[in-house]
Amino acid sequence: MSKAKVVSSPLASHFKRSNIHSPSIDKEKEDIRRVSYALVVGSLIYVMVCTRPDIAYAVGVVSRFLSNPGILHWETVKWIMRYLRDTSKLKLTFGSGKPVLVGYTKSGDVDNIRFTLGYLMTFSGGFVSWQSRLQKCVALSTTEAAPIKACKELLWMKHFIHELGFKKQRYVVYCDNQSIIHLNKNSIFHARSKHIDERCSQ
């Protein structure tokens, strides 16, 4: 990998990894056992959790196949490492603006089973919390999948920031889901949304 060509994105747009790329015959399984897939992915998870929110989604994708990885999954792992080589000098910083807690959330559907949820929290312009993972509960749409975990994290961060002495600050969550925006403007529980707090807010 030390001589591999670097790349400028953590996951290329043409990567659409799924369970269909996992090996199904003994020969393919034997070939993938020769590489340290789980060990490398574990190292990537450590890097992502500590300092690299930019690889959260990519690492989340490759970590889904730890039990039965395929060659294409391994190629994706190597792509992430090539990206890290090119961006090894990036660092987290805090700005000089107002101490405002801001959240961003996005959800999408990859394997048509559970939604992939991602969120990012910033405080004073610096990244303080991030995650990309499959929903534990099976959400029925992105309308309920997108805000659940992000709002829980925002509430926890709010209490934590209060403990640090920052009181009466503004809290914002951005989401590009039109259904959520409409529901926020007209927050009456409709037939298709009244179940959300019952199923997934616990």
pLDDT in tens, 176-197: 766 666 666 665 555 555 544 5
Distance between CA 130 and CA 31 in Å, rounded? 34
**In a 3-state reduction of DSSP, which class is residue 152?**
helix
Distance between CA 166 and CA 79 in Å, rounded? 41
Position 117 scores a pLDDT of 80
Distance between CA 86 and CA 6 in Å, rounded? 6
Position 79 scores a pLDDT of 93
**In a 3-state reduction of DSSP, which class is residue 127?**
strand
- Sketch the domain layout of the chain as residue ranges: 19-86, 101-200
Q: What share of the chain is helix, strand, coil (3-state, %, to 5)?
A: 45, 15, 40
**Residue 142 in tokens:** 């992105």
Q: What's the one-letter identity of residue 22?
A: S
Whole-model pTM: value is 0.77
pLDDT in tens, 96-146: 777 888 889 887 755 556 677 888 999 888 999 998 887 766 655 555 555
How many Cβ atoms sit within 10 Å of the Cβ of residue 34?
Answer: 8
Parallel/antiparallel/unpaired status of strands 101-109 and 171-175: parallel
**Residue 197 in tokens:** 């707090």
How far from 129 is each of 31, 73, 90, 118, CA to CA, in Å?
37, 26, 17, 11
**Tokens 């534990």 correspond to what residue?**
136
Residue 39 makes CB contacts below 8 A (sequence gap 6+) with none
Burial class, 132, CB count within 10 angstroms (exposed 0-12 / middle 13-18 / buried 19+): buried
pLDDT in tens, 8-66: 899 877 666 666 667 677 777 777 788 898 999 999 999 999 999 999 999 998 998 88
